[in-house]
């Protein structure tokens, strides 16, 4: 059974960098699929942040103005998100998820999600 689990600090100060990790069990991230991050501000909808294929270039939401960096660590079977220069607007539940795809692109929707981790940006 494939499982994803997010971890990271629950509180980040404004202007600092938010760092999250998603540990994957039951499937090797180097075997395929896109691995990504989605967030949900309190009481609001879902926003895609970034996704990466194990052998391709990451893709990002332009709305984040190049503040996001996603990276895959195949040796640890996990992937991470860094979001720089955070503000209160980055307060959200952050989910990691996988989506089918290949080197040409996504072929389907996010089929497995982590439980989510809450990040609050506050001094």
State the residues that interact with other proteins by CB under 8 A. Answer: 45-48, 51, 59-63, 95, 97, 99, 105-106, 108-111, 113-116
CB of 84 to other proteins, least distance (A): 18
DSSP string, 103-117: TTEE-S---EE---E
CB of 95 to other proteins, least distance (A): 6
Residue 24: burial class (beta carbons within 10 Å; 0-12, 13-18, 19+) = buried
By beta-carbon proximity to other proteins, the closer residue of 16 and 93 is: 93
By beta-carbon proximity to other proteins, the closer residue of 5 and 16 is: 5
By beta-carbon proximity to other proteins, the closer residue of 31 and 57 is: 57
CB of 75 to other proteins, least distance (A): 26
Give 116's strand partners: none
Q: Give yes or no for a contact between 93 and 39, defined as CB atoms under 8 angstroms apart.
A: yes
DSSP string, 34-77: EEEEEEE-TTS--EEEEEEETTS--EE-GGGTT-EEEEEETTTT
By beta-carbon proximity to other proteins, the closer residue of 13 and 108 is: 108
CB of 108 to other proteins, least distance (A): 5
């Amino acid at each position: 059974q494939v499982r994803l689990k997010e971890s990271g600090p629950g509180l980040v100060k404004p202007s600092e960098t938010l760092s999250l990790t998603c540990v994957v069990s039951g499937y090797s991230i180097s075997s395929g699929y896109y691995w990504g991050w989605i967030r949900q501000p309190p009481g609001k909808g879902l926003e895609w942040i970034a996704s990466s294929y194990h052998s391709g270039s990451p893709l990002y939401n332009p709305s984040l103005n190049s503040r996001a960096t996603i990276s895959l660590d195949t040796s640890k079977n996990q992937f991470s998100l860094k979001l720089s220069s955070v503000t209160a607007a980055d307060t959200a539940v952050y989910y990691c998820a996988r989506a089918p795809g290949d080197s040409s692109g996504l072929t389907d929707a996010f089929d497995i999600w982590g439980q989510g981790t809450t990040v609050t940006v506050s001094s």
